[in-house]
Amino acid sequence: MGSISYKNRYANAIVIWVIMILNSSFFSTSFSTSTNKTAHISPGTLDDYLYNLSSKSIANSDVLYNISLPADFSGMEVSILRLRSSTLWARGANFSSFDIPPRIITMPYVKRIAIMYENLGNMSSYFYDLPGFKFLTPVVGLVIYDATDVEGRTSPKRLNIALMGKPIRVSYDHIQVPRGRNSSLLKCVRFEPTSGLVELSDTVSHGVCSSKGPGHFAIALPAVNSTTFSPSPSPSPSFSPLPSPLRRGRRKLWPWTWWVVGISAGVAGLILAVSISILGYKAFATRKLRRMESKSEKAESLDARWIGNSKLPWASMTRTQAVNLETDSIP
């Protein structure tokens, strides 16, 4: 009996141990799956991913929708506004951080657009990073999509804009500058949505940036030990050999040289055309004058007499004598 109970205990321990291993592998797999949902999303595809999630819940136009996101994107805020391009041109739009002025045209032009606002919150540093700088604000995004035919399109179509008036303003309410740092060093950072290029500019005022296009924005401060603004060492002087005779004819022309050559050629062509026109007109007038002179030489000249204040041609004699038609006699 003792041996049988010992075997049963041993079998139960093995079963419990297998169950624990399976449970741990299941939880680890589910955890890795839930945490890796955002791992395959890059900053370039994040906008399209969020737009695909949110475009399904949009029903009406001119209404701002706050989109509920999955748990993997907790801490982020996404809002979408769908409206006509004519409305954006006439009235503009205003989000929590963005002030879009009127007189804006989408490129290319479409009838309906969808403006998506993003606030990445505590996940800003996960998707965006700028070496040598420290973000003082969360990264906010402004993306414009074509909403003319959403059902018939497989992938969202981004749009650019052309400003005919004031630039877009990006405002932050609260910015805490670290103690001992100068607020004049604050920089506006813009991440271009498609190419990934980074633009740095000065703030318009405290906590306010301006932009000429959509993208992702933040206000950053150079790190204390950053060498971003340190001047680069001047290169040591070097002596290059003189160009060989074969390369002297391949000198690079500056852009203004082509402008000078083009303007000179245009002026010379204009002068040549005017000269040819003047010479042609003079030749035509001379030929016409000669024809008139030749006709006048063949015709009979008439005398001229003054009658009052007018000088009129006067024939000295008549060529044909008058004949009386009744008697056929010359008077």
Q: Over 80: is that where the pLDDT of 27 sits?
A: no
Q: Which of 112-121, 129-138, 175-184 has the lowest mean pLDDT?
A: 175-184
Report the pLDDT averaged over residues 174-193: 85
Cβ atoms 191, 198 nearer than 8 A: yes
Q: Over 70: is that where the pLDDT of 205 sits?
A: yes
Of residues 301 and 44, more confidence is placed in: 44
Mean of the per-residue pLDDT values of the chain:
75
Alpha-carbon dihedral sign for residues 78, 80, 85, 88: negative
In the chain, the domains with their CATH numbers are 43-222 (2.60.220)
pLDDT tens string 262-307 = 888 999 999 999 999 999 888 888 888 888 777 765 655 566 777 7
pTM confidence score: 0.56
* Res 178: pLDDT: 83
CB neighbour list of residue 219: distance below 8 Å, 6 or more residues apart? 135, 136, 137, 172, 175, 186, 187, 188, 189, 203, 207, 209
Q: Over 80: is that where the pLDDT of 197 sits?
A: yes
Measure the CA–CA gap between 172 and 154, rounded to whole angstroms. 35
pLDDT bin (cut points 50, 70, 90) of residue 125 is confident
Report the pLDDT averaged over residues 157-169: 91
Q: Alpha helix locations (H) across 179-220?
A: none
Among the ranges 66-70, 179-183, 234-238, 276-280, which has the highest mean pLDDT value?
276-280
